[in-house]
Amino acid sequence: MAENQQVDSPASDAGGYDAGALGLDIGTSRIVLANGPQGTQSQSQLNAFISVPYAKLTENILQQNRMVYHRNGKELCVYGNDSERFASFFNAVPRRPMQRGVLNAHEAMGQQIIQAIIEQMLPRARKNEMICFSVPGKGEGADANLVYHEAVLRNFLQGFGYQAKAINEGLAVVFAELQQENFTGIGISLGGGMCNVCVAFLSVPMLSFSIPMGGDYIDSSVSEVTAEPVTRVRLQKEESLDLARQPKDKVASALQIYYEEVMATLINKLREEFENSNSIPRLDRPLPIVLSGGTAKPRGFLQKFEGMLKASGFPAPVSEVRLASDPLTATARGCFIAALSEIK
């Protein structure tokens, strides 16, 4: 959706699979597709792959196990959700088509793989079917390359027969979660590769930005200082991290430290952008903040974020800080709502 374009009618009467609209969140860690009534039907695939040398026997095994793969000359690439299972057989870390929110320039196979994952997820496009896909906001590490990232993904989607439109990830969170508030407030997505923020008034984005830190940064930093493998760090983070408790071991303690760094960087940047922006209208009421994305999922995250925001002397009144109803699908649901508003 173009900046400053109004969504005149929210998707409360969204009509299921026949709505002619789809929402696609193309994230660094996961790709999520939303369709169905109000975008509530969703499916996701890991945005990752693992490659092994081609051998007929290996290919047979992949076929027997119904794993999705792509043959590229002398390599077999297992991608999407199967990549995690396959990686654990080989004790390897999956490769990623994207890094810090955008296409990974250092991964030669990246574009082919992301195209294959998306193709596998999308239904066959009907005439004029609309798809909105998420893109990050500008920020350190995401600037000129955003133009390329957006254009390549749009081309893929158009190539599959869709009308495709990019939407800022933070704005998608506003669409998904702030319907009751007339799409006015701050949407924040804390993902794998980055964090995205959008301040919107009546669905119009007034300010959006990204920071190049997210779950991947936390995992790799903790792995570096504790000498634990990055996969083990990630699993501990996802399965048992509680930010409200005293950490019980070295990994938990390092996770808390880097979580606090990410939150502090995000809150500082938000304060700075708010103070320096001259596009934010005078506020007649306090703004709600919605937190989404996988990195917002640990226990205690919301309370910690609220506490740090209060202590930061944030320059605008905030009515509440809450978690998205489903942090892993908010961006895709918001993209779906944007797509519906485009076809009305």
Ligand X SMILES: Nc1ncnc2c1ncn2[C@@H]1O[C@H](COP(=O)(O)OP(=O)(O)OP(=O)(O)O)[C@@H](O)[C@H]1O
Query: Rule CB under 5 A: which residues touch Mg ion?
Result: 27, 189, 191
Q: How far is the CB of 27 from ligand X (least distance, A)?
A: 2
Nearer to ligand X by Cβ, of 19 and 297: the residue is 297
Q: How far is the CB of 296 from ligand X (least distance, A)?
A: 8
Q: How far is the CB of 291 from ligand X (least distance, A)?
A: 11
Nearer to ligand X by Cβ, of 256 and 295: the residue is 295
* Residue whose CB is nearest to ligand X in the complex, by number: 215
Nearer to Mg ion by Cβ, of 27 and 185: the residue is 27
Task: Give the one entry of Mg ion, ligand X, none that residue 94 binds, where binding means its C-beta sits below a cut-off of 5 to 8 angstroms depending on kind.
Answer: none
Separation of alpha carbons 9 and 65, rounded Å: 45
Enter the tokens of residue 304: 């910690």
Q: Which residues contribute to the site for ligand X (CB under 6 A)?
A: 25, 27-30, 101, 189, 191-194, 214-216, 234, 237-238, 241, 293-295, 297-298, 328
Task: Give the one entry of ligand X, Mg ion, none that residue 185 binds, where binding means its C-beta sits below a cut-off of 5 to 8 angstroms depending on kind.
Answer: none
> CA 40, 294, 122, 43 torsion: positive or negative?
negative
Separation of alpha carbons 39 and 19, rounded Å: 10
Task: Give the one entry of Mg ion, ligand X, none that residue 214 binds, where binding means its C-beta sits below a cut-off of 5 to 8 angstroms depending on kind.
Answer: ligand X
Q: How far is the CB of 195 from ligand X (least distance, A)?
A: 7
* Residue whose CB is nearest to Mg ion in the complex, by number: 191
What is the DSSP code (8-state) at residue 317?
-
Contact 167, 133 (CB under 8 A): yes
Nearer to ligand X by Cβ, of 165 and 297: the residue is 297
Enter the tokens of residue 320: 């509440």
Task: Give the one entry of Mg ion, ligand X, none that residue 342 binds, where binding means its C-beta sits below a cut-off of 5 to 8 angstroms depending on kind.
Answer: none
Give residue for tokens 């508003």.
341
Report the SS3 class of residue 325.
coil
Q: How far is the CB of 74 from Mg ion (least distance, A)?
A: 33
Q: Which one, of 268, 263, 266, 328, lies nearest residue 301 by Cα? A: 263
Separation of alpha carbons 212 and 192, rounded Å: 10
Separation of alpha carbons 74 and 54, rounded Å: 5
Nearer to Mg ion by Cβ, of 99 and 189: the residue is 189
Separation of alpha carbons 141 and 92, rounded Å: 27
Q: How far is the CB of 191 from Mg ion (least distance, A)?
A: 3
The Cα diameter of the chain in Å comes to 67
Nearer to ligand X by Cβ, of 165 and 237: the residue is 237
